[in-house]
Amino acid sequence: MTGSAWHGLAMNLGVTAATVLAVLLVTVAVAPPRGLHRIADVAWGIAFTAVAAVTCLLSAGRGNGTQRLLVTAITAVWGLRLAAHLAWRAHGGAEDPRYEQLLTKASGNRNLYALRTLYPLQAVLIWLVSLPVQAAQYARPPATHVTLLGLSLWAAGVTFEAVGDFQLARFKSDAANHGRILDHGLWAVTRHPNYFGDFLVWWGLYLTACGTWQTAALCLLSPLLMTFLLTRGCGKRRLEAHMAERPGYADYVALVSGFVPLPARQRKVTDADRSTRSSGESRGAEADLGSKRTSTAGSTGHGPVT
């Protein structure tokens, strides 16, 4: 990148910080009055899309035109699909249990607590994670094998996330599945296909910004931070802590990979299983995960149960 491009990127970072703040201010105007802070999840995808669009406008004449449009487009596809899905899922529903748990820490007004903690933190995270979306649009190098690898990871991630969300929504729409675990499709190889999809998306976007070693170094924080959030922060860890005591979920955890898709582990055969099988009262003690169903309580989280 040239000196002019770096100067442009520096200015861009300031403008996009204001853009993220504007999106969150709109969210603050909508969410607390309704008592539904889960609306902040919808704003997450919208804010990334806004950052990409603003950067595309500001980087005109500095970055590679094709790459600018491409990075903006793939960010918008991911962000708007996610926002639409979460808005549809939240429509008419109660507060997300994860936010309920977070707001129990409030010593006074819950909305004021959220305004002091939840929304400022989300703004900072969006701005930091979006670094590749911004830097990639100021880089002039033509597409390389690294860029193509990044696009492939992005495509795989969006597909994985969208298919996982579709399978879960279809499963929940059938009343016969109430209280049962979704253990087929992508949910048979990972307990969190949506989070794993996000993981691929952001490592893919990071690679599109690796045209120079300087931008690669600048943006490395983004996929590392997203990986932490998904696996140790507000994603997988918090959701599974919320669901840990639900009947049957421990069996699902024992059989299915927690993040990276892997073949389901075989369930150990116990003496009780052998006794049940010999009496003809079960479908088989060594049944694979796809044929095993376990009762569990409902969840409004982004997880594999209804």
Lowest mean pLDDT among 5-9, 220-224, 270-274: 270-274
Q: What is the pLDDT of residue 243?
A: 67
153 pLDDT exceeds 60? Answer: yes
**What proportion of the chain, given as a percentage, has pLDDT over 70?**
82
Lowest mean pLDDT among 9-18, 89-98, 279-288: 279-288
Give 12-15's long-range contacts (Cβ < 8 A, gap of 24+). 12/54, 12/55, 12/58, 12/59, 12/134, 12/138, 13/127, 13/134, 15/54, 15/58
The backbone torsions φ and ψ at residue 234, rounded to the nearest 5 degrees and listed phi first, read: -85, 0
**Rounded to whole angstroms, what are the CA distances from 178 to 73, 93, 94, 194?**
38, 16, 18, 21
More confident residue, 281 or 191: 191
303 pLDDT exceeds 60? Answer: no
Lowest mean pLDDT among 31-40, 255-264, 268-277: 268-277
237 pLDDT exceeds 90? Answer: no
Over the Cα atoms of the chain, what is R_g? 22
Per the confidence metrics, is the pTM higher than 0.75? yes
Q: What is the pLDDT of residue 142?
A: 66
pLDDT grade for 262, boundaries at 50, 70 and 90:
very high
Strand partners for 181: 305
Region 107-124 average pLDDT: 86
Domain layout of the chain by residue ranges:
1-140, 144-306
Region 230-251 average pLDDT: 74
Q: What is the pLDDT of residue 299?
A: 38
Q: What is the pLDDT of residue 105?
A: 79
More confident residue, 294 or 241: 241
More confident residue, 155 or 237: 155
Region 164-189 average pLDDT: 89
Q: What is the pLDDT of residue 22?
A: 96
Query: pLDDT tens-digit profile of 62-80?
Result: 888 899 999 999 999 999 9
Q: How many residues does the chain have?
A: 306
Nearest to 54 by CA among 133, 149, 155, 123: 133
pLDDT grade for 125, boundaries at 50, 70 and 90:
very high
Q: What is the pLDDT of residue 31?
A: 83
Query: pLDDT tens-digit profile of 78-92?
Result: 999 999 999 998 777
267 pLDDT exceeds 60? Answer: no
**Taking all residues of the chain, what is their mean pLDDT, rounded to a whole number?**
82
